[in-house]
Structure 1
């Protein structure tokens, strides 16, 4: 069997849980040397133990420029260059308009927009010509869900970045694409609510709203990330690829 990422070097932010963890594991299984980046050292340690193989964890915050500098210095020292960047770190807080706060807005945009932009910008000197960048968007970027206004706006910004950066980086052959997941069964479900019962209700609500009748699995998003990271998608650039069971399509 041919390994689709053999010899490639990849960075996955938010790689210690959910979609990032599943993608990091898939990348390693396909022959890549993978660096995962996240804020919680204990979760990173667990991820490294789970994934095994050629995996390195770097602790840090994507909103902190010096932490990103340390991440890419680690990659450069170990491997020299970077082939794949999956800018996946993000957060969601439910706040309807009448409960909007400056703190909520700044926190969401700091992580989902500013942090993502810094993650890509600081990787550029290390990236090989012909490398690829994958951004994590969301169906919320194109649909209106009550309570998700700030999050939705931040993910619409991510989609816009993919268009602009595709044009800005085309002379280097760097492909930039977005993955927009739908309702995926990850710990981010718990982060949106206060109790396990509320989380179960949220999962049920989204499963019923999804045409395929269930939540997605992180591994299903990881398979799409692998497609975008590999030569299988060599003529794919600037797209927003939905992995959503049809919820944003019908």
Structure 2
């Protein structure tokens, strides 16, 4: 286990900590003696009890029910958490949703909901945490590789995550002079319940396109993300294939588009073949 560049935080705020990536990060932190505040729409009592059993060296966890899209509720709830367990030295926004469809088939309501949760939610989380974070603190926002390069059926998701990356860029610029570090986490696909649901209801063509960056087991993804967070790295993308995809998308756009277009053609052909055999 790598050490924290500036020492392990004493208090951490995590949104979306009731499941998925946020929950795994909460597990790791409480085992390191960190006091963790989880913010989520719902946290199962059994999950909370298990987190508390994992706590060691003074670590602890409290959960707070709140809607990430409600800015006033976030401010009030984070004020309460800061009063109860302390001001956050580390805060990471993991709350997010994924809804997929071709743009022409994507209802406005779904597009708006995705932007509200993923992008406006990131804004609300950052604003609430920064009310209490002091110099030396560390703010992290979970975006996605989809915030670097678009993918088939991901219009709403990519738009929201591109926005999160842009928000992180500005926050890094503004907060660096104040001594607060900023990270943006841009992983490829991680084997979480959210990905399992996408595979169940999503398009084959999206799976074919996204396979270029690979799918990471959650344990390896969390280990890679934590390693970057401990170093206070700005942009964190675990996994060689995902980092290669990020580099191609940013530095060789024309080549990357050719690769993606080829994947789309292959995916659409696979869908036609499946339809023909049904």
Tell me which interval the TM-score lies in, with the shorter structure as reference length.
0.7 to 0.9
- Give secondary structure in 2 for the equivalent of 1:24: helix
Query: Of 14, 17, 28, which residue of structure 1 is paired with 2:16?
Result: 14
Deviation at 1:8, TM superposition (A): 1.4
Deviation at 1:80, TM superposition (A): 3.1
Instruction: Indicate if the aligned counterparts of 1:38 and 1:58 stay in contact, CA closer than 8 A.
Output: yes
Structure 1 residues not aligned, in runs of 5+? none
- Give secondary structure in 1 for the equivalent of 2:186: strand
Partner of 1:249: 244
Superposition misfits of 4+ residues, deviation over 2 angstroms: 1-7, 190-195, 201-211, 217-230
Deviation at 1:97, TM superposition (A): 1.4
**Partners of 1:97 and 1:210 in 2: CA distance:** 22
- Give secondary structure in 1 for the equivalent of 2:81: helix
Partner of 1:209: 212
Partner of 1:128: 134
Identify the structure with the greater helix proportion: 2
Instruction: Indicate if the aligned counterparts of 1:81 and 1:126 stay in contact, CA closer than 8 A.
Output: yes
Partner of 2:42: 40
Q: Computing the radius of gyration over CA atoms, which structure comes out larger, 1 or 2?
A: 2
Partner of 1:82: 88
Q: Using CA pairs below 8 Å that are at least 6 residues apart, which structure has the higher relative contact order?
A: 1
Partner of 2:185: 179
Instruction: Indicate if the aligned counterparts of 2:151 and 2:209 stay in contact, CA closer than 8 A.
Output: no
**Partners of 2:216 and 2:187 in 1: CA distance:** 8
Per-residue CA deviation, residues 91-126 of structure 1 (Å, 9 max, x unaligned), is 110021111221011101000111110110121121
**Partners of 1:49 and 1:36 in 2: CA distance:** 13
Alignment of 1:2-151 (within 5 A): 4=4, 6=8, 8-42=10-44, 45-52=45-52, 53=55, 54-151=60-157
Partner of 2:271: none
Normalised to the residue count of structure 2, the TM-score between the two structures is 0.76
Q: 1:203 to 1:23 in 2, by over 3 A?
A: farther
Normalised to the residue count of structure 1, the TM-score between the two structures is 0.84
Q: 1:202 to 1:62 in 2, by over 3 A?
A: farther
**Partners of 1:49 and 1:206 in 2: CA distance:** 39
Q: 1:118 to 1:222 in 2, by over 3 A?
A: same
Per-residue CA deviation, residues 129-151 of structure 1 (Å, 9 max, x unaligned), is 11001111111122231100111
**Partners of 1:188 and 1:158 in 2: CA distance:** 19
Per-residue CA deviation, residues 66-106 of structure 1 (Å, 9 max, x unaligned), is 33123312322123311001011011100211112210111
**Partners of 1:22 and 1:39 in 2: CA distance:** 17
Deviation at 1:245, TM superposition (A): 4.5
**Partners of 1:165 and 1:33 in 2: CA distance:** 25
Q: 1:21 to 1:110 in 2, by over 3 A?
A: same
Moved more, 240-249 or 172-181: 240-249
